[in-house]
Structure 1
Amino acid sequence: MAKLQARGYVLHTRAYRETSVIVEFFTPQFGRISAVAKGARGSGKSDRKSLLQPLQLLSFELAGRSQLKNLGIAEAIRNPWPLRGNCLYSAFYMNELLMRALPETEPVSLLFEQYQSSLEHLASLSENDSLVNIEPVLRSFELMLLQELGYLPDLAHDAQTGEHIDANQHYTFIAEQGFLPCPSTQAYAIQGTDLIAIEAREFTPSARKTAKHICRQALLPIIGDKPLKSRELFLSHTGQ
């Protein structure tokens, strides 16, 4: 039986048969990959159950030739990230995005690095930290996700002429096409200065709002219009 060695984060678990669970992992070498953890809900496997929690970084062994692998030995590489409040909901949002957007078994090493740095950044904030500090983390993650999937629009060039974005111009965003010049009076007109800031990952108040609009529109063809549970939790917690 073929065996694979991997490291990655637990994204999600769900019950499977009588005593097992299906674990969704996020790894740099295989992207999103599923495995059956046999007996993980049994009384004799409480140690394994405690390991298979979201935001836990593990080294583990996978066996089997089918797409759904069997989970072998699993060990914690580090303690789970100590996230609470807004920061925890933000991490759950990233997990749900990965579950909805990533195809199985496609390597995404740059996105994995961005995910880890995002968790580290969130862990450095307080549980009720302002969205001013949290939103740049989420927007940077979304932009990297779009880049890895090939859906990131060209933030630096006019999609119609190929010219560099003009700071004094306004643009409309069309998913899977890019940014086209438009009158400043048009609904959702985007300032060129915001696009330049987002390209440089400089999230001014205006750029944060614009980046949120762009990411939401660009992600729609990937994740669909079914509401994200984590987003609803986050909004109910922040009251926004």
Structure 2
Amino acid sequence: MDRREALACLADDPDDVYNRRMFGLVPTTIVLVLSIVTYGLRIYCRRKTGQGVKWDDILMGIGTVISFEPAICEYLLLANGLGHHICHVPADQSKRFAVISFALQRANQPALACIKLSILLFYLRIFSSERWLRWAAYANMAYTICWAISTWIVNLTVCTPIAFYYDHTIPGGKCKNQVISGTANGALSLLGDVCILVLPLPVIWKLKINTRRKIALCGVFLLGCL
């Protein structure tokens, strides 16, 4: 047991393990099922209307498949002590827990990047007549790719050597401040999300329809902020 685990044992023992574990199990399962169903409906509608599968559909599918990895890791974490007090988790499970936590973070950026790029390709397809929007979408795509690669590398190398992330018995190992890197990653991701969400709004507002419909359309495109 390292120093962090020893200090954690001084904390109060959680008295409601079942609810704590359900808090991880239920949302993960709901989101996983919804992502599969919504993507399936998307492809079904494409084929039903005879439009065929586009590149934005393919990228969304890739992002959906990659996102299965964090969900699987969440289930494995639950099987290895998630929700239990650290003092009640056997040493071998604690090691597996750390390895699974490390693996969980490897898929976040690739999955999000595919989903964001899919949305931008969708914009390029339906707003192709707007030159400024095309350039803005390309710029956002470049930003998204750079963000995904850089943050993936930073997260991978936050500890030196890399294995020190899940094995603190390695002599001479050290980790950078993960709070700072995590906050920076979240802020950069949020910036890209905001740019993607607001990108089509000026085009929608120029449409020759009444204000109520404009607001409704803007609301549909802004659903992504949820």
Larger Rg: 2
Fold-level match, TM-score > 0.5? Answer: no
Structure with greater strand percent: 1
TM-score scaled to structure 1, two decimals? 0.29
